[in-house]
Amino acid sequence: MKILLIGGTGTISTAISEKLIEEKHELYLLNRCQKNISLPQGFRSICADINNEVDVAEKLSEMEFDCVADFIAFVPSQLERDYRLFNGKTKQFIFISSASAYQKPSSNYVINEGTPLANPYWEYSRSKIACEDYLMKMYREYGFPVTIVRPSHTYCKASIPLGVHGKNGSYQVIKRMLEGKPVILHGDGTSLWTMTHSLDFAKAFSGLIGNLHAIGEAVQITSDETLSWNQIYKSIANALGVDFKPFYVASDFLAKAGAFDFEGSLIGDKANSVVFDNSKLKKLVPGFQAAIRFDTGIKECVDYIMSHRDCQREDPEFDGWCDKVINALEAALNFVKESGEQNDGC
């Protein structure tokens, strides 16, 4: 099949690009051509900024596709642009939405595609919902062949998935673990979460491409493995060969603590227990089963990051913030204890 990916070199899309190259599809990547060199041979580059609609329209003027997938659209105006560019030029258009769009707080911890979409805590999620609404309107009214894909927390060999981290990603948390320092976990670490390796995601995604039964549908792609955040962080510590030293902080406190935007990513997402029902995906892609267990996948991630200096982006601002939060809460606890002892003495 002739497939165009807008993006194609991110955490999720790199594995998909590699999978489609392996399957011998005629693959085109439309991006600014800054990271394509890391992919194996077997694709064609269209060097352009998708936001420059006139330039993209000119470069694609003589081309049609079996499938177009946009990995970097976040607001409805970008989908309106895609509709202008690809209506009548593709047999399928896949939009990458987000499982964070599901109802928060959840009325049921088991999530499927019928779960309502509503997230008052995170603008990112609300924008994804608006994107879905627009595309489904184009499908219903004009037959635009859309498939909506909802990933949850997907990781690759170069990314450690965490609940609480700074602006530079996950490495500073790894560094704290290696230095024997406590790491902040939201809540008490017992809420449930799902991690999906990008290679598993790519297998499912490939099965949706060209799938007539996926047109007009929304489909979530996740692993079936459910973990607590304690288990997630313990697996990371085990992969590093260090002790797990959690410091538990209420999600609401973290969301109000200021320095980093945790209201959306925690209150609107990771602080909620979720278990995904992937029955619809497995019906659309018979035989699909996520095969990479988290403790195995995270060991690969840790080995890769520790052997690639460019993945080790330190974040002193986040590190100092963690120490400040931990010291403040420990001081508060000591104050309460001492006050209680004094009252007992009276």
What is the DSSP secondary-structure string of 316-333? Answer: HHHHHHHHHHHHHHHHHH
CB 146 within 8 A of CB 135: yes
For residue 282, the model assigns a pLDDT of 98
CB 147 within 8 A of CB 210: no
In tens digits, the chain (346 residues) has pLDDT values of 999 999 988 899 999 999 999 999 999 999 988 765 678 888 999 999 999 999 999 999 999 999 999 999 999 999 999 999 999 999 999 999 999 999 998 889 899 999 999 999 999 999 999 999 999 999 999 999 999 999 999 999 998 999 999 999 999 999 999 999 999 999 999 999 999 999 999 999 999 999 999 999 999 999 999 999 999 999 999 999 999 999 999 999 999 987 788 999 999 999 999 999 999 999 999 999 999 999 999 999 999 999 999 999 999 999 999 999 999 999 999 999 888 666 665 5
For residue 292, the model assigns a pLDDT of 97
Name the pairing type of β-strands 110-111 and 195-197. Answer: unpaired
- For the chain, the maximum distance between any two Cα atoms, rounded to a whole number of angstroms, is 87
For residue 156, the model assigns a pLDDT of 95
Nearest to residue 226, comparing CAs of 126, 294, 291?
294
For residue 342, the model assigns a pLDDT of 67
The two tokens of residue 243 are 């002790």
Continuous segment of H or E residues that includes residue 130: helix 123-142
Let me know if domain 92-324 sits in CATH 2.60.40.10: no
DSSP state of 212: G
